[in-house]
């Protein structure tokens, strides 16, 4: 996806520059698909609403006066289409056999859980979206994008025709309903007590606000079902770590009717494909594949149509690989059908186009810039990441020796060869036979619980962590301590008490894992970090892994971030310092993606920002 607010791309499409409109449509399709999919809950009309939104945007783009407002304008169109679908109020079919299932129906939530391979509380959040109303789901679809940095609060408010103040109130109310829905998902997944069975005896299996309220009321009053409220992590943090749902794959070109022609294209496996129509054609080439329709775009300005080539193919993968050499052209075979249409045939008489010297109907391909070599790999240097557009390219480029994603498996992060993936048991809910078996398949090293000293993270007592630790130890993997958020060097702190308890119980801890975030954004920050690590190393006498670190100031009630120069200076200075610490085995920056404001290193598409270049240079 392009950098949000790319006015230059919008202006290029308005001028009719070759390929600009196709690129713009492809860039924003994932955003529209996620907004509509979540707002409609995966209704069968989702693909039609997505397609209609994009076609309306294409038709109206020439009249858009402010290119910077394109994204908010597109969101308004999408929400209007969603509301129009709600007004028609076509009911979903009811499966009366879902009474005893916690997650009824096959919908956008199911699709998201499957495609993103979600587990634990992130999975519960997505499943809970079924239990809120249409208005709240519309708001949720936009707030989700705000949480992952794809849109701003101002754009959210504008899309819903609200003031920012009213939007803030609505968001808080929606999050409260979502938390209640998370409790419902948990309670229905438990063995049912007699009272709960009586409460849901008349339920038809369709999630709804009334049943949400009844089940939550029961859970508050039931000694057994009240466990549904235990250890609920902060929903903001969970949603921020759930990326956009990828567009459904599997678009097949063989046999596709393109402008009265039948073509066979030789393409990489499962690309997202946009086929540019011939001059003057309507933007309505749709390939329906189960969940969605991918519509190609029409030229906006007739004068720009000279660049349109019938049957031309533009490859737009979701996570593009390094550029292919120019000497490896795409082969396209085109044959006219026996049933000719009334379309002019002067540009469609060519029967065969191959990779030979013949240039008829061959798309003009500009020479891509030569890929730069990746940074020299450092075994110590690592990154934490979640999936984003370009994650594989970024991991290949930055020279990291290892990566983790707070999960038991890489999930939807494609780890390139030469980079070690290190799994984690995030919290108490992940200490299951399935998760322990999964981490054992990933390698030889295991990270323990994530920030158990924070209520909004794994939120564990020292005793709870010690009780569960033998199960992590039984994997036989090299085992890192729970990674505390702060005070790892303090006597009597969470980590200090854990290490003392582990020694008393004879438990094994092979290295210390910890996090550090500095609130001093000046040159002294590197020294502050080194002093902290020195103190931790001296206290425990074990190797140290710094598994999250960056600059963030939490002292003002919110979060304050450094500016671009401060972040880049610290990324370079700190990584050079860390490479030289003899007791420090590994370190990992938070985080690789810069798809929202903060401390990320690589922009969507896999291009490093200033801090990314500085971190990349170390090794």
**Between 176 and 45, residue with greater pLDDT:** 176
Alpha helices, H only, 366-516: 391-397, 433-440, 462-473, 494-505
Task: Answer yes or no: is pLDDT of 312 > 60.
Answer: no
Section 208-233 average pLDDT: 89
Q: Give the whole-angstrom CA distance, residue 415 versus residue 526.
A: 29
The phi, psi pair for 125, rounded to 5°, reads: -60, -45
3-state secondary structure of 223: coil
- DSSP codes, 542-576: S-EEEEEEEE-B-TTSS-B---HHHHHHHHHHHHH
DSSP letter, residue 429:
G
3-state secondary structure of 228: helix
Task: Answer yes or no: is pLDDT of 458 > 80.
Answer: yes
Q: Are strands 400-404 and 378-384 parallel, antiparallel or unpaired?
A: parallel
315-319, 369-373, 573-577: which is most confident: 573-577
Cβ-in-10-Å burial (0-12, 13-18, 19+) of 296 comes to buried
Task: Answer yes or no: is pLDDT of 98 > 70.
Answer: no
Q: Give the whole-angstrom CA distance, residue 543 versus residue 343.
A: 72
Q: Report residue 476 as tokens.
A: 């036989």
pLDDT at 152: 84
- DSSP codes, 37-94: HHHHTT-TTHHHHHHHHHHHHHHHGGG-S-GGGHHHHHHHHHHHHHHHHHHHTPPPPP
Calculate the CA 438 to chain-centre distance. Answer: 22
Strands (DSSP E) contained in 324-394 are 332-336, 378-384
Q: Which of 441, 393, 435, 399 is nearest to 413 (CA)?
A: 393
Give the confidence band of 48 by pLDDT, cuts at 50, 70, 90: confident
Q: Report residue 65 as tokens.
A: 């006066």
Rama region for 406: left / alpha / beta (φ>0; ψ in -120 to 50; rest): left
Asked whether 140 and 266 are in contact (CB, 8 A), the reply is: no
Task: Answer yes or no: is pLDDT of 19 > 60.
Answer: yes
Q: What is the CA radius of gyration of the chain?
A: 27
Section 333-337 average pLDDT: 36
Task: Answer yes or no: is pLDDT of 261 > 60.
Answer: no
3-state secondary structure of 483: strand
Give the confidence band of 465 by pLDDT, cuts at 50, 70, 90: very high
**Between 246 and 22, residue with greater pLDDT:** 22
Percent of the chain with pLDDT over 70: 72
Asked whether 74 and 32 are in contact (CB, 8 A), the reply is: yes
Q: Report residue 171 as tokens.
A: 């968001």
pLDDT in tens, 107-139: 677 667 666 667 788 888 888 888 888 888 888
Lowest mean pLDDT among 216-220, 244-248, 362-366: 362-366
DSSP letter, residue 190:
S
- Please state, as a whole number, how many other Cβ atoms lie within 10 Å of the Cβ of residue 265: 20
3-state secondary structure of 469: helix
pLDDT at 266: 30
Section 186-210 average pLDDT: 89
532, 536, 538, 544: CA torsion to nearest 10: -110
Residue 491 vs residues 500, 539, 558: alpha-carbon distances, Å = 10, 9, 28
pLDDT in tens, 66-93: 888 888 889 889 888 888 877 665 544 4
Q: Which of 118, 85, 88 is nearest to 103 (CA)?
A: 118
pLDDT at 119: 75
DSSP letter, residue 430:
G
Q: Give the whole-angstrom CA distance, residue 234 versus residue 175.
A: 10
Average pLDDT, the chain: 76
pLDDT at 374: 66
24-28, 433-437, 466-470: which is most confident: 466-470
Q: Give the whole-angstrom CA distance, residue 368 versus residue 180.
A: 51
Give the confidence band of 303 by pLDDT, cuts at 50, 70, 90: very low
Task: Answer yes or no: is pLDDT of 507 > 90.
Answer: yes
pLDDT at 41: 72
pLDDT at 141: 85
pLDDT in tens, 368-422: 445 566 666 789 999 999 988 899 999 999 999 999 999 999 988 999 999 999 9
Task: Answer yes or no: is pLDDT of 244 > 90.
Answer: no
Peptide bond into 432 cis (omega under 30): no
Q: Give the whole-angstrom CA distance, residue 364 versus residue 361.
A: 9
320-334, 534-548, 555-569: which is most confident: 534-548
């Amino acid at each position: 996806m392009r950098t949000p607010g790319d006015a230059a791309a919008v202006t290029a499409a308005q001028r009719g520059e070759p390929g600009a409109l196709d690129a713009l449509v492809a860039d924003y399709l994932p955003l529209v698909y996620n907004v509509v999919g979540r707002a409609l809950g995966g209704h069968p009309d989702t693909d039609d609403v997505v397609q209609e939104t994009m076609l309306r945007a294409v038709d109206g783009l020439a009249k858009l006066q402010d290119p910077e407002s394109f994204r908010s304008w597109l969101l308004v169109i999408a929400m209007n289409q969603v509301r129009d679908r709600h007004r028609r109020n076509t009911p979903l079919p009811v499966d009366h056999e879902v009474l005893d299932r916690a997650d009824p129906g096959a919908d956008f939530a199911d699709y998201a859980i499957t495609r993103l391979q979600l587990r634990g509380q992130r999975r519960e959040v997505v499943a809970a979206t079924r239990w809120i109303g249409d208005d709240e789901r519309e708001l949720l679809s936009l707030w989700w994008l705000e949480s992952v940095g794809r849109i701003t609060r101002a754009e959210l408010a504008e899309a819903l025709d609200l003031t920012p103040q009213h939007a803030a109130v609505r968001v808080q109310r929606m999050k409260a309903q979502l938390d209640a829905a998370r409790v419902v998902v948990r309670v229905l997944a438990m063995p049912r007590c007699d009272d709960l069975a009586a409460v849901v005896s008349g339920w038809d299996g369709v999630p709804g606000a009334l049943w949400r309220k009844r089940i939550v009321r029961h859970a508050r009053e039931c000694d057994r079902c009240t466990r549904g409220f235990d250890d609920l992590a902060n929903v903001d943090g969970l949603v921020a770590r759930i990326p956009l749902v990828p567009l459904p794959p599997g678009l097949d070109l063989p046999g596709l009717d393109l402008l009265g022609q039948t073509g066979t294209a030789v393409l990489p496996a499962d690309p997202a494909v946009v086929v540019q129509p011939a001059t003057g054609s309507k933007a309505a080439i749709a390939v329906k594949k189960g969940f969605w329709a991918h519509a190609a775009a029409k030229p906006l300005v007739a004068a720009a149509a000279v660049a349109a080539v019938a049957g031309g193919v533009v490859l737009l993968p979701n996570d593009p690989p390094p550029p292919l050499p120019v000497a490896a052209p795409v082969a396209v075979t085109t044959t006219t059908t026996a049933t000719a249409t009334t379309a002019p045939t002067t540009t469609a008489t060519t029967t065969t186009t191959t990779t030979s010297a013949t240039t008829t109907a061959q798309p003009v391909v500009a020479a891509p810039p030569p890929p730069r070599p990746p940074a020299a790999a450092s075994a110590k240097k690592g990154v934490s990441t979640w999936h984003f557009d370009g994650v594989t390219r970024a991991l290949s480029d930055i020279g990291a020796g290892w990566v983790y994603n707070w999960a038991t498996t890489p999930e939807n992060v494609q780890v390139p060869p030469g980079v070690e993936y290190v799994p984690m048991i995030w919290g108490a809910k992940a200490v299951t036979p399935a998760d322990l078996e999964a981490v054992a398949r990933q390698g030889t090293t295991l990270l323990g619980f994530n920030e158990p000293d924070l209520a909004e993270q794994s939120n564990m007592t020292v005793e709870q962590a010690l009780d569960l630790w033998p199960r992590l130890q039984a994997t036989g993997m090299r085992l890192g301590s729970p990674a505390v958020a702060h005070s790892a060097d303090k006597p009597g702190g969470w980590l200090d008490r854990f290490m003392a308890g582990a020694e008393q119980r004879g438990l094994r801890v092979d290295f210390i894992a910890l996090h550090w975030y500095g609130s001093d954004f000046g040159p002294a920050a590197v020294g502050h970090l080194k002093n902290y690590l020195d103190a931790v190393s001296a206290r425990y006498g074990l190797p140290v892994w710094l598994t999250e670190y960056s600059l963030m100031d939490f002292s003002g009630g919110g979060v304050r971030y450094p500016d671009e120069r401060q972040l880049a200076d610290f990324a370079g200075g700190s990584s050079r310092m860390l490479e030289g610490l003899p007791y420090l085995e590994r370190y990992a920056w938070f985080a690789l993606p810069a798809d929202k404001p903060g401390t990320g290193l690589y922009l969507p598409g896999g291009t490093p920002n200033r801090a990314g270049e500085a971190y990349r240079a170390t090794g």
